Structure 1
Amino acid sequence: MQEGLAEKIKAIGHWRVNIRPLQPIDPPLPMNECHERVAKASVSLRGWDYPHIQRNTEHGGAANVGTYAENWCDWSHHVEFWRMYRSGQFLHYRALWEDLSDEGKNRPAGPALSVLGAVYTVTEVAEFLSRLYNGGLYKDGASINVTLGKSADRQLWISEFDRMPFYDEKRTNAEELVIERSFHAAELEGQAAAVSLSILLELFDHFGWNPDPSLLQRDQERLYKRQW
């Protein structure tokens, strides 16, 4: 991975996703399979895949590094890297596009988090986990940790053009927000939308916003139908 990329991401707002098998994977994954499982489970619902598979070496690349395979991208507001370990652990860091671009209507001053962007990202994360399970990787279940880093003084933002902004500020003062879940195999079967909804409701609660779950479910349905 290019020098300084991890530090660049961690210095600004970012998502950190860590997935671990509940039981050790034996035998360990071959290195080529680490790449292949991520590629097969990658979610592409809105023009940029999760996690992103970088094939153009001008703006990123891929490598085998001892115990893990990795892939990275540093292009415009797409700055991220992921690692799939031979143990089955998956680790992903992605910079918030909100911190790399000043575009957007009704944008609040200071650090912001797009509500729709968060809904889409967390939904993609859960769908990716579900696809890894369906591909046979986590037969005994898995744990997931979703962290929003550099969240202090960050404000929720209605970035869509067709919705009214918040009447009052929805803000968190926590330096990072950490949400963890563990799932047995049966709980991962066809439950991606429910898993992501649970994580989103906890995430937004940290900002003092407790929407009707149906509001977020409608956004999830639009994403799956590619109606964004």
Structure 2
Amino acid sequence: MIEKEDVEQHLALNHETRPFEVKGPGDLAHKAYVAKIARAAMAMGNLSDGGIVCLGIDDKRMREMMPGLSTTQAADWSDFDNVSAALAKYSDPPVTFQTDQYTLSNGVTVVVLDISEFDRVPHVCKKSFPDVLQNGFTYVRPRGKPESVTVPSSSDMRDLLEIAISKGVREFVRRAGAAGLPLGLNDLQQDTDKTAYAQERSQAWQPRSEHTGLTTNPHGGLFGSWAYTDIAIRPGTYERERLNPARLDATLIEHVVRLRGWPVPMVDQREPIVRHGRWIAQDISAPGVHEEEAWRLFTSGQFLHRRALATDMHPDSPELAATHPAATGAVAVWDVLLYMVEIVEFGARWATTLECDTITFDIALNNVSGRQLISGDRKRDIRNDLIITADQVPASHTITTTQLLTDTRRTGVDLAQRILHKFGADIPDQVLLDYQAQILR
């Protein structure tokens, strides 16, 4: 379920995005308004990873976060059973969603519908409403414009079919893997092309990389003194021209993960993407939404991602502050865990598209010397003496595509544990699995 802070980050962008739509205030008893919400919900359900419909905010007043819902409207739209029944009149199969009511930082109330990606088959409208819905039509969120409309092009229809096919393939692989049926390599190939990939990484991250973000200083590199994750995802065998250089950005956008509503990686289509021939790059600095990250993508299929830690992007949050007097800063368990699960999900989609037998995740936390590992969640406590002295915490994992697709969430937990163990944490896998299941779609 998306958190209030994430909702405000989306609103701070001051424009709707493909997975985030706002609707001004309206009554659950108003049929035309409900039909519009049903259209948005079906379109979000037909989007990879689903999306968010935020009720109570006018699209022209997103940054203001106004006007908000009345008390009665908020109560009605928070009633899951009534909302579910209202939307089910229009969608086949019914939309799967969660609701939550938030009081935003400016005091206004909104209700968020967190829509899940369809389970087996896309949502199709089963009841018309004048000027809003047409029986038998399928609604989507097209790439070109963030709006909920009937399928406008063959490429958008292919996107929808690709989601359904991918779900079927992954379910088959999961069941076959659980049954012990061999679908690919039995043993991991040796990482013989590691040097070639390392040369690409040296091109991508120059010591004096220019960056316009809040963390820039003339001597500190990309993120200055901030702690950040450094991720490399690469297929097992090196092929210099595996991907078409003209479609690198489009290919990346097709694989963006939105398990928390926010995109991983964030590709800002309103800003230029730097093209270096065989690789593309973008540095993201969005002070209003507390986002500092940078990504690189090569024609070999190697993807690189760096992102500042949540503890550094939210320095005023009491929950993200170190509690030990000797600590120089903090690293939150949930930040590591959720990001690793998102990265693994990206890797699973990437491996499927690249049709590679294995994929490697190289991970590091940088600038973490003296940092304390904290829960980051007031509902969960861990020991307060887990302080690391190393400035970098690395981890690496090579896995077959079959194993990866069999259980991506558990692989994400495994990657997180490879980091957390080096802080001295001994958190049971099941605790982490349960926690990510509560937060992520």
What TM-score comes out, normalization by structure 2 length? 0.47
1:219 is matched with: 435
Unpaired runs of at least 5, structure 1: none
CA contact (8 A) 2:333 2:376 kept: yes
Would the alpha carbon gap of residues 64 and 48 (structure 1) be closer, same or farther in structure 2, given more than 3 Å must change? same
* Same amino acid, percent of matched pairs: 20
Structure number with the higher helix fraction is 2
* 1:181 aligned to which of 387, 397, 401: 397
CA contact (8 A) 1:130 1:190 kept: no
Further displaced range: 1-10 or 87-96: 1-10
Deviations 1:99-143 (A, max 9, x none): 232232352153111111111111101110011122x21422111
User: For 1:216, what is the secondary structure of its paired residue?
Assistant: helix
**Take 2:311 and 2:237, find their aligned partners in 1: how far apart are those partners?**
36
* 1:83 aligned to which of 293, 296, 301: 296
User: For 2:297, what is the secondary structure of its paired residue?
Assistant: strand
**Take 1:95 and 1:197, find their aligned partners in 2: how far apart are those partners?**
20
Would the alpha carbon gap of residues 142 and 167 (structure 1) be closer, same or farther in structure 2, given more than 3 Å must change? closer
Structure number with the higher strand fraction is 1
2:411 is matched with: 195
In structure 2, what residue type is equivalent to 1:123? V
**Take 1:124 and 1:51, find their aligned partners in 2: how far apart are those partners?**
9
Q: CA RMSD in A?
A: 2.1
1:209 is matched with: 425
Would the alpha carbon gap of residues 160 and 184 (structure 1) be closer, same or farther in structure 2, given more than 3 Å must change? same
Query: Is residue 11 from structure 1 mapped to residue 230 from structure 2 by the alignment?
Result: no
Further displaced range: 188-197 or 83-92: 188-197
**Take 1:147 and 1:199, find their aligned partners in 2: how far apart are those partners?**
11
Greater relative contact order: 1 or 2 (C-alpha under 8 angstroms, separation 6 or more)? 1
2:309 is matched with: 96
1:16-165 maps to which residues of 2 (within 5 A)?
A: 16-25=230-239, 27-57=241-271, 61-76=272-287, 77-106=290-319, 107-108=321-322, 110-134=328-352, 136-163=353-380, 165=381
Deviations 1:70-114 (A, max 9, x none): 222111231111111011111111112312322323521531111
In structure 1, what residue type is equivalent to 2:401? A
**Take 2:377 and 2:281, find their aligned partners in 1: how far apart are those partners?**
33
Unpaired runs of at least 5, structure 2: 1-203
CA drift at 1:54: 1.2
CA drift at 1:27: 4.2
**Take 1:48 and 1:186, find their aligned partners in 2: how far apart are those partners?**
27
**Structure (1 or 2) with the larger CA radius of gyration:** 2
What TM-score comes out, normalization by structure 1 length? 0.87
CA contact (8 A) 2:372 2:384 kept: no
Would the alpha carbon gap of residues 170 and 82 (structure 1) be closer, same or farther in structure 2, given more than 3 Å must change? same
Would the alpha carbon gap of residues 180 and 103 (structure 1) be closer, same or farther in structure 2, given more than 3 Å must change? same
In structure 1, what residue type is equivalent to 2:361? I
CA drift at 1:32: 3.1
